[in-house]
Amino acid sequence: MTEDEEWNMLSEEIRGRKIYYEIHGTGPVVLLLHHGFASMKMWKDVYPRFVEAGYQVLMYDRRGYGRSEPGEDFDRFYLSDSFCSESVRDLEALTYKLGIRRFNIVGQCEGGVIGTLYAGKFSEQVSSLVIASTLCFSTRTMTEFNAEKFPKSFHELDNGIRDKLLYWHGENRAETLYELARTHGGAYGTGNFDLRPKLPAVQCPALVLYPDRSALFGVEQAVEFYRHLPNAELSVLPRCGHNTYEQLPDEYVRQVLNFLDRSNADTSAKQVDFSMTCLASAPVEQ
């Protein structure tokens, strides 16, 4: 099978564009959302562990990332105020088309923004939420932040980082996506970013998983998530940099799986309790 044939087989037309996705395993569904520089390929060493633990994994490349079509107006979309809301709509359309009605979300950095907004809007669909290395709020504009944190252009990057971007997106998209991300910030936008007003709407159990040595965001971001999410747990990974899934993969997976197991067990218990209550209150036929 050629790469083009595989791409066509594992893609769905979502709102006029082909979105690439993969599903692995069986069991409760775990949706993995990639960060703002990556594609779903970033999960290649992580997702098999969730499958082995009895979960079904759904991964996809968000619009314009990896192997998903960008559409003719991608740059306008990326720079617009509707980036987040449109990304949420794409996710809603994809899960609906795949017949997936309830799932757990694991989002890394910018993926955590999309996951949080989705969980707040569609609470009946989301069993639990994990957000790792995600920015909660900014004290200055993201344009200023990005200029400091990402000073190098694509061609000035170290070979290892550039090769990773090429692996994620291919030669035709890697430079464009990197330059857009470092100058405009995607879901984080260009102005002052603040997710806190949206957090009270997230009713599902949430795990805030944060590194203590991120080169981008401090641990106070995790504390703000914890304070504003109604049903949150907080875990800080020691001696860990920003890409938690990559730097401490064993501990990352262990903590996420522990949280998922407990959250799904609680959900099942509540469903049983509800069913028993309904049965007890049902009229007895004479």
Q: What is the pLDDT of residues 179-212, one digit of tens each?
A: 999 999 899 999 999 999 999 999 999 999 999 9
3-class SS at 96? helix
- Mean per-residue pLDDT, 152-167: 97
Angle at 95 between CA 94 and CA 97, to 5 degrees: 65
Q: What percent of the chain has pLDDT over 90?
A: 85
Alpha-carbon gap, residue 186 to 147, rounded angstroms: 14
Query: Yes or no: is domain 3-281 CATH 3.40.50.1820?
Result: yes
Average pLDDT of the residues of the chain: 91
Where are the domains positioned within the chain?
3-281
Of 87, 76, 112, the closest CA to residue 202 belongs to 112
pLDDT at 272: 42
pLDDT at 11: 84
Q: How confident is the model at residue 6 (pLDDT cuts 50, 70, 90)?
A: low
User: What is the signed CA dihedral for 249, 250, 251, 254, rounded to 10 degrees?
Assistant: 120
Q: How confident is the model at residue 10 (pLDDT cuts 50, 70, 90)?
A: confident
The residue among 282 and 13 whose pLDDT is bigger is 13
Q: What is the DSSP letter of 155?
A: G
Of 55, 54, 47, the closest CA to residue 22 belongs to 47
Q: How confident is the model at residue 16 (pLDDT cuts 50, 70, 90)?
A: confident
pLDDT at 66: 96
Count CA within 13 A, CB hemisphere, residue 260.
27
Q: Return the number of other C-beta atoms located less than 10 Å from residue 192's C-beta.
A: 14
* Distance in angstroms between the alpha carbons of the first and the last residue of the chain: 63
Q: What is the pLDDT of residues 145-157, one digit of tens each?
A: 999 999 999 999 9
pLDDT at 280: 47
Alpha-carbon gap, residue 48 to 45, rounded angstroms: 7
The owner of tokens 């306008």 is 76
- Mean per-residue pLDDT, 87-94: 97
- At 117, which amino acid appears? L
